[in-house]
Amino acid sequence: MIVLTRLLFPFILMSRIVRGGRYIPYGLVGVVTLFGFPPRASAAAPAPSPPIVVEHADTWRGTSVDEQFDLIGHVRITHGQTTLTCEQARYLRGRGEVILDGRVRMAHRDGTLTADHVMYFERDRRAVAHGAVTILDPKESTTITCGQAEYFSSPRRAVLTGAPQLVRAHDGEEVVITGRRLEYFFADADSAKRAVAQDSVTVIDRKERITVTCQRAEYTRKPERAILTGQPRLVKAVQGSDRDVIVTGTRMSYAFLEKRAEAQGQVVVTRGQLRGRCEAVTYDSREKRAGLTGSPVLWEGTSELRGQEAVLSLTEETVTRAVITGNASGSYAPDDSAAGSSRKSTIQGRVLTVSFDQDIVREIIASQNATSLYYPPRQGTEARGPNRVSANQITLFIDRGRLVRVAAEGSVVGTYQAPGQTTPRQGNGLSPRRGASVQ
């Protein structure tokens, strides 16, 4: 039978058969099915994978000696659940390899891969693609583009290099992930869809105008979030302003559905002139707030605010208020160094509520065991002693670090020093619910 096959092989290649009422070239499937090739494995060997089947080619040629077949024009090949189409292909049956060129498309279940050139390996169902590679996962509205890709069937994943970019667009949302190397895992019965990007990674949430750069990002679909490490840096672009919200730390996570970012480890938050430092921060873009924990410190100009926790409220991405709790304290001095003493005035209480105008401190309210220590500016070369006030609540009105007015309420006690006096005066200083201007 083998001898007959080799004798008739040239004629078989030229023959045609009728399928579905139309003439098509007699594919390799006909040759293999009618005459058969010698078995490669013994009866004791494991069951082989389904054979490669050439379903169509406009023209093709080959020899049975080296088992090499060249297919040209509208090539269609199937291998189990995988379908390969292209303009031309070379099937090296002896090596179990297929070389495909020209508008190559590989479809497998719920995903497709297109490229200029693909090398397909029969044994492990692996594919190596080059040139304008695109992977589509329509079920997840995900598109990946790159220069080179290697596809693996078990587990189903693709390793992409050559400027890979993942884009997921769904319901007006768009997530973009780039890096020098990207590994994409398709969903199977025992695994969820996820992607791992490495080296010069960028993660973008276009709707929220949030961009995160880092060295490694692990993206999962359910829940849809990204874990970012390797010097992550988040930038929230503020429309119509050059003062973006910037967050850095050693580790960061971002939840795309909730629009919430969390950063840990030596965290620094910056917005215009306002800067904060803490051990952890949670930034909620929808709620327009940021929570800082781990002994946060805030700076604005010469003003400094401290506590155990702080919550920042934002309006149109501008910080409008901060609530600082846990041994809260603040210090301030005029921004203009020529204004007077370099000593900083202080205020403290269990809670500090700070109001901002364009990220600049305008008002500080200390409540619950509030205490204020104010250093008046020098008069000529003469330094003046501090004024001390304690009350249930103290309110300071500040303009660029300069105290403009102070008000105290409830059990007010203090010492104050009027202009020209060298000895502090003891008394109630400020009557309840009444403010005093500061000269």
**pLDDT, position 206:** 93
**264-308: pLDDT as tens digits:** 999 999 988 889 999 999 999 888 899 999 999 999 988 999 999
CATH architecture of 232-439: Sandwich (2.60)
Highest-confidence segment of 44-48, 65-69, 279-283: 279-283
Residue 240 has pLDDT above 90, yes or no: no
- Label residue 421 by pLDDT band (50, 70, 90): low
Alpha carbons within 13 A on the beta-carbon side of 423: 2
**384-394: pLDDT as tens digits:** 678 899 999 99
**pLDDT, position 431:** 43
- Bridge partners of 300? 274, 303
Mean pLDDT of the chain: 83
Least confident of 315-319, 330-334, 365-369: 315-319
**pLDDT, position 342:** 60
Question: Structure tokens of 310?
Answer: 């702080």
**pLDDT, position 136:** 92
pTM of the model: 0.80
**pLDDT, position 19:** 33
Report d(CA 439, CA 434) in Å as an integer. Answer: 16
Cβ-count burial of 126 within 10 angstroms (0-12 exposed, 13-18 middle, 19+ buried)? middle
Is it true that the peptide bond before 38 is cis, omega within 30 degrees of 0? Answer: no
- Whose CA is closest to 305, among 176, 235, 198, 398? 398
**pLDDT, position 28:** 39
- Label residue 112 by pLDDT band (50, 70, 90): very high
Least confident of 247-261, 281-295, 334-348: 334-348
Q: Where are the alpha helices (DSSP H) in 35-176?
A: none
Q: Output 162 or 187, whichever has higher pLDDT.
A: 162
Q: What backbone torsions phi and psi does residue 30 show, to the nearest 5 degrees?
A: -65, -40
Least confident of 164-178, 185-199, 347-361: 185-199
Using the CB atoms, write b or e for 185-219: b if 16+ within 10 Å. bbbeeeeebbbbbbeebebbbeebbbbbbbbbbbb
